[in-house]
Structure formats: structure tokens, C-alpha cells
A = this chain, B = another copy of it.
């Protein structure tokens, strides 16, 4: 699956593994993330398949860069995947919710501390969607006017991330209120 995310970025322009990582972090990280090491591994296997090719660009003051380019076969494979109907629900792994599921076994104070910590994290994430992510989409769109339609899609996915964090913050706040309002045993 990661291979399609990588191919997707390479449809815009050739780039290095390092740059792909940066793009992911700035745009898709809230619904699709990846570690740098895994990106390098996946690029290599894409090259073995013939879906991308790579050339070395030598540099003197920086390490050499390996620039990956998508091949026609890769283009084709990516398009096929993109158009393919997706008929499942994406599997979720939400550690906080799992902990809460069993947290009746804990004292309220520990649970409240846990929730407060997560509230802070999600609030930070929310404000990042409202600021950094908005800006990075707008600057890409301004720089390349041909990508206007793409930018509208990117904005829609950003909005998904924002709505998700709003929901998370609301849920945690409700949990905190509910726990505080309950008689201690």
C-alpha cells in the first residue's frame, strides 16, 4: 500500500526518498505515514519490479542523491490502483480508546491524567491542521497553478484530518467531564 503513496508523489515529479518522506510528513501524515527506512526499502522493491528507475546525482557538499522516476508501467499500475473500487473499511488501531475500554479498573485520577495528556496532543495536532497544513497546501497550489484541481483534493483530505481532531478533542473533553461528575468509590 505504501508503494502507491510513493508512486502517487512520483507522478508529480521525480524525487529522492528523503523528499518523499518530507512530502508525506507535510501532507498525508494524518491518514498515511511512513518511516524513512521503509520508504527506501519500498523504493528498492519498486525498482526491482520496474515501476520506477533511479539515477544518482552527485553532490560535493552533501551526500549524493538517488533520484527516482516513475516508469510507464508504474504509471499504469498506479492508475489501476487509484481507479479500483475500495470495498472495505480501513482497519483501526487506536491505543487510547483501547486503554479507555479497560480503564474502569483504574482510579479516576490516573484516567484523568491520561486523558489530559492526550487532549494536549490532539489540540496541538488540530492547530497544525489549521495552520501549517493549510499553508503548505496553499503554497503548493500558488506555485503550480496547473495543480489547482489537485489542491482542492488535498484541502479536502486536510479538512478530514481537522474534523477528526475536532472529534477527538470533543470526545476527550466529554470523557473528562463525565468522569469528574461521577461519585468516587
Contact = CB atoms under 8 A, between A and B. Distances in A.
Interface size class of A (residues with CB under 8 A): 35 or more
Interface string A12-23: 000000000000
A98 interface: yes
B100 A32 contact: no
Interface in A104-126: 104-106, 110, 113-114, 117-118, 121-122, 125
Interface in A126-184: 147, 149-150, 152-154, 156-157, 159-160, 163-164, 167, 170-171, 174-175, 178
Contacts of A91: 33, 93
B92 A32 contact: yes
Nearest to A32: B98
B171 A101 contact: no
Contacts of A83: 106, 110
B31 A94 contact: yes
Given A8-B102, A118-B86, A175 B156 contact: yes
Judged by DSSP, the binding face of A is helix
Contacts of A104: 147, 149-150, 152-153
A45 interface: no
Given A104-B152, A153-B104, A178-B156, A1 B95 contact: yes
